[in-house]
Amino acid sequence: MTRLWAIVPLVLGLAWPAAAGERVRVVTTIPDLKALTQAVGGDLVEVESLTRGTQNFHEAEVRPSMMLKLRRAQLLVENGAELDSWVDVAVTGANNPTIVRGGPGRIEISRGIPLLDVPTTRVDRSMGDVHPLGNPHFSLDPGLAPAITRTILDGLSRVAPQHRAAFERNRMAFLERLEQQMAAWVKTLEPVRGGKVVVYHPDFVYFLTRFGLVQVGTIEDRPGIPPSPQHLAGLIRQMQEHKVKVVLVEPWNDRKLAARVAEEAGGQALVIASSVGAVKGADDYISTVDYNVKALAAALR
Amino acid sequence: MRASLVLLLAALVIAVGAAPSDAQDAEAIRKELEQMRRRMEELSQRLQRLESQPTPVPPPAQVMPPSPPPTLTDLARPREPFALAPRRGGGQLLFDMGVVGDFVANVTQRSVDKADGGTFAGRENRFFPREVELSLFGQVDPYARAAVVVEAGEENPGGELTAALAEAHLTLLTLPYGFQAKLGQARNRFGWSNERHAHDLPWADVPNVYRNFFGEEGLRERGVEVSWVPDTPFYFEALVGLFDGDNEVAFGRGKLNEPLVTGRLRTFFEPGLEHGLLLGVSAAHGQTPDRLRSTLAGFDVRYKYTPDGWRHALLTLGAEGIYSIRRIEREAEVAAERRHFGWYAYAELQPWLRWALGARYDWSQYPVDAGREWAVEPYVTFWPSEFLRFRLAYKHTARSERSPFNDSGGNARLVDELLFQASFILGAHPAHPF
């Protein structure tokens, strides 16, 4: 009977202790932002991601387990630019006023990012699942990490102002490590600078632009629309004309189709880490970028 | 001659004296050039470093000092919401808008058509718009969201459409202790399928048990619903609602002083990242127009298996049941009670991104009348894109009684139907939960 009474406050949710003591509970929509938040927050934060690296973030299913994570969150870090707009449904089901849109515990990273592929003409769905605000897949561009971590730093400092100095130190230490790596990455990709690739979905435009690589075409006829045979035939011709030997594909996309297109064009399909945790060895932010740099350098040589 | 000698000597002295000075200047210039070259190199390296850095960006616009939760006084204070509009850029819509079109074709036997005894009563052997829906939704202010849904559809043969306000509700998001309140007219959160619009269901029609116990439109009421999600280590949601009780099939009293009271408890388990299991129980208690009690209790269970890296679930299983206890007027001043039950179960397999195959089995009694019916409905769904869907289904229904499905000389005891559904989405459409 005593035990029964003991669970009453727990069920009422009035005295449930924070599992991680004093740590700031942060939830991110995608694993890249989890990795960057972890880099800034260090041991002072407990970060969870609502999705996994092997998922297509556009199509994440809103599960009650997401609502549970959000119910307890002090800060929600969302990518924005319509990559993760499903999070609004999860937030509505979480009954946590801190992280509702406009609340103090919510940050949208894309607001601080100069987005690429912003449509300059009128767009509609005949163009596929276009993003009117621009391409939202910026998180794995290491050159944008300073801007992303700056927004995360501001968000964390807002919910835990007493740790601001520590967050700043963590961020600077991370950026220093990143800068060192950046020099190595630039050197690694220098010999293949100007190299041409075809991608399945335009996930890598920021990364490719950063390192001077060129996206010649996409397997998807239009974003989110399966390719037609005519489109694929045209793409293969284009690859042969431009001597494109590499097709980049996300782990969650149709790898067989990517391999077939690459083979027809005399090239190879390369499964690339579309996010932290997408492939083996891409366990944190730096190792994920490192994986992509090395894989691309080897494939383009 | 002497003067020339003196001049020559003077020139020599000057020349000898000047030569080291020029050499020093040249050396100084060389040094300066070297310094400038180094400086240029430094600047060039610095420029390269800067170029490899991101474009400086302004601080995010949404950064603001933490605001304390609103007090009762804050909530009560008028906030001039319309004054916000001119402050935002011109042409910027402050909410989302979407249109959904859902068309259904139904082909069945002539006898079923005569008796109006098909799944879509009165619309047998027709292609008709079941739901064309205009949704407006978004944030009202930092404290609330709202949604308005206007719906048009063919309810009777003849091509005449009926437009109505399907939903209009406000959700207060910032209540303390994990509470949230929804006010207005909405689809009630009873079971799993009732809160979904017909076009969002995984079948071409509403399960028989819902159609029998709540009518074709389901349970859609006006009132208030309060939900609570406590801060527990497992997901748990509880909600209670107070409504008018307008639903003519199950209640119909339509008075707030004799209200329809609803409740639901729901939990979710994720045994491994690939599995998801949702369990819920619901209840609704109200009165009929004759002031007789009507109580419905329901359960719902839903399981999904999504292999790692898949963009969709490979297998979905679901079942719901409703148990109805209803007082009926048998004779003057003597009331009897009907205890009737219905349920359905379904399985869906989606081995490819664009194709799904499934089947649903229905078994249901009627809330008041005697008899029962069962049905089986295999179907196939095809999505050319995320915003367009076609579905083809065959449904066989067998009823235990001829009456009341024998109007106008028809007979709908055994019904075979071919159902075709075409649905599209224009613009925004909120994501659907598990």
Residue B386 has its nearest CB partner, among A111, A129, A251, at A129
What's the first-to-final CA gap in chain A, in angstroms? 71
Amino acid at B86: P
Q: Is B53 in Cβ contact with A143 (below 8 Å)?
A: yes
Q: Is B179 in Cβ contact with A114 (below 8 Å)?
A: no
Quote the pLDDT of residue B402.
81
**ipTM of model:** 0.84
String of b and e for B301-329 (b: at least 16 CB within 10 Å)? bbbbebeebbbbbebbbbbbbbbbebbee
In sequence order, which residues have a C-beta less than 8 Å from that of residue A233 and are 6 or more positions away? Answer: none
Taking the Cβ of residue B433 and every Cβ of chain A, the question of whether any pair is shorter than 8 Å is answered with yes
| Residues 41-100 (A) with a CB less than 8 A from some CB of B | 52, 54-56, 59-65, 67-68, 71-72, 85-86, 88-90, 92-97, 100
Residues B186 and A262: their CA atoms lie apart, in Å, by: 51
Among candidates A270, A301, A271, A276, which has minimal Cα distance to A289?
A: A276
Domain boundaries, chain A: 11-179, 189-300
Residues A263 and A243: their CA atoms lie apart, in Å, by: 13
Residues A199 and B330: their CA atoms lie apart, in Å, by: 72
* For A100, nearest residue in chain B (alpha carbons): B173
Residue B227 has its nearest CB partner, among A85, A95, A100, at A95
Residues A34 and A50: their CA atoms lie apart, in Å, by: 9
Residues B297 and B293: their CA atoms lie apart, in Å, by: 13
Taking the Cβ of residue B230 and every Cβ of chain A, the question of whether any pair is shorter than 8 Å is answered with yes
Distance from CA of A83 to the nearest CA of B (A): 12
| CB-CB contact of B393 with B421 (8 Å) | yes
Phi, psi of B126 (to 5 degrees): -135, 155
pLDDT per residue as tens, chain B (434 positions): 444 444 444 444 444 444 444 556 677 777 777 777 777 677 666 656 645 554 444 444 444 445 555 565 555 554 444 434 344 444 578 899 999 999 999 999 999 999 999 999 999 999 999 999 999 999 999 999 999 999 999 987 777 888 999 999 999 999 999 999 999 999 999 999 999 999 999 999 999 999 999 999 999 999 999 999 999 999 999 999 999 999 999 999 999 999 999 999 999 999 888 999 999 999 999 999 999 999 999 999 999 999 988 889 999 999 999 999 999 987 766 778 999 999 999 999 999 999 999 999 999 999 999 999 999 999 999 999 889 999 999 999 999 988 888 777 888 999 999 999 999 999 888 887 89
Map residue B280 onto helix, strand or coil: strand
Q: Is A129 in Cβ contact with B308 (below 8 Å)?
A: no
Quote the pLDDT of residue B308.
86
Phi, psi of A87 (to 5 degrees): -65, -25
Residues B252 and B303: their CA atoms lie apart, in Å, by: 34
3-state helix, strand, coil in chain A (%, to 5): 50, 10, 40
Among candidates A139, A120, A138, A140, which has minimal Cα distance to A130?
A: A120
Residue A151 has its nearest CB partner, among B60, B179, B432, at B60
Quote the pLDDT of residue B64.
45
Alpha helices in B140-263 (DSSP H): 208-214
CATH of domain A11-179: 3.40.50.1980
Domain boundaries, chain B: 93-427
Q: Is A88 in Cβ contact with B54 (below 8 Å)?
A: no
Map residue A230 onto helix, strand or coil: helix
Q: Do domains A11-179 and A189-300 have the same CATH topology?
A: yes
3-state helix, strand, coil in chain B (%, to 5): 20, 45, 35
Residue B311 has its nearest CB partner, among A56, A93, A154, at A56
- E strands along B51-143, which residues? 96-108, 126-141
Residues B38 and B17: their CA atoms lie apart, in Å, by: 32
Residues B100 and B133: their CA atoms lie apart, in Å, by: 5
Residue A107 has its nearest CB partner, among B60, B139, B236, at B60
Among candidates B277, B269, B272, B195, which has minimal Cα distance to B235?
A: B269
Quote the pLDDT of residue B32.
75
Q: Is A65 in Cβ contact with B386 (below 8 Å)?
A: no
Q: Is B57 in Cβ contact with A114 (below 8 Å)?
A: yes
Q: Is A12 in Cβ contact with B52 (below 8 Å)?
A: no
Residues A195 and A244: their CA atoms lie apart, in Å, by: 8
Token reading at A135:
């391409």
CATH of domain B93-427: 2.40.160.10
- Candidates 3.90.1150.10, 3.90.1170.40, 3.40.50.1980, 2.40.30.170; CATH matching A189-300: 3.40.50.1980
Distances (CA, A) of B97 to A123, A274, B149, B425, B430: 16, 31, 10, 11, 10
In sequence order, which residues have a C-beta less than 8 Å from that of residue B39 and are 6 or more positions away? Answer: none
pTM listed for this prediction: 0.82
Residues of B whose CB is below 8 A from A130:
none
Q: For residue range B196-241, what is the model confidence (pLDDT) as tens digits?
A: 999 999 999 999 999 999 999 999 999 999 999 999 999 999 999 9
Quote the pLDDT of residue B225.
97
Quote the pLDDT of residue A272.
95
Taking the Cβ of residue A132 and every Cβ of chain B, the question of whether any pair is shorter than 8 Å is answered with no
Burial classification of residue B422, based on how many CB atoms lie within 10 Å of its CB (0-12 exposed, 13-18 middle, 19 or more buried): middle
What are the CB-based long-range contacts (under 8 Å, 24+) for A22-27?
A: A24/A74, A24/A75, A24/A156, A24/A159, A24/A160, A24/A163, A25/A72, A25/A73, A25/A74, A25/A75, A26/A73, A26/A74, A26/A75, A26/A76, A26/A77, A26/A156, A27/A69, A27/A70, A27/A73, A27/A75, A27/A76, A27/A77, A27/A99
Residues B82 and B90: their CA atoms lie apart, in Å, by: 14
Quote the pLDDT of residue B82.
42
pLDDT per residue as tens, chain A (301 positions): 445 444 444 444 444 444 445 899 999 999 999 999 999 999 999 999 999 999 999 989 999 999 999 999 999 999 999 999 999 999 999 999 999 998 999 999 999 899 999 998 888 888 888 888 999 999 999 999 999 999 999 999 999 999 999 999 999 999 999 999 999 999 999 999 999 999 999 999 999 999 999 999 999 988 878 899 999 999 999 999 999 999 999 999 999 999 999 999 999 999 999 999 999 999 999 999 999 999 999 999 8
- ∠ CA(B216), CA(B312), CA(B98), 5° rounding? 50
In sequence order, which residues have a C-beta less than 8 Å from that of residue A224 and are 6 or more positions away? Answer: A58, A128, A129, B385, B386
Taking the Cβ of residue B66 and every Cβ of chain A, the question of whether any pair is shorter than 8 Å is answered with yes
Residue from A100, A101, A138, A201 whose CB has the most chain B CBs within 10 Å, to mutate:
A100
Distance from CA of B318 to the nearest CA of A (A): 15
In sequence order, which residues have a C-beta less than 8 Å from that of residue A45 and are 6 or more positions away? Answer: A23, A24, A25, A26, A37, A38, A156
Amino acid at A47: V
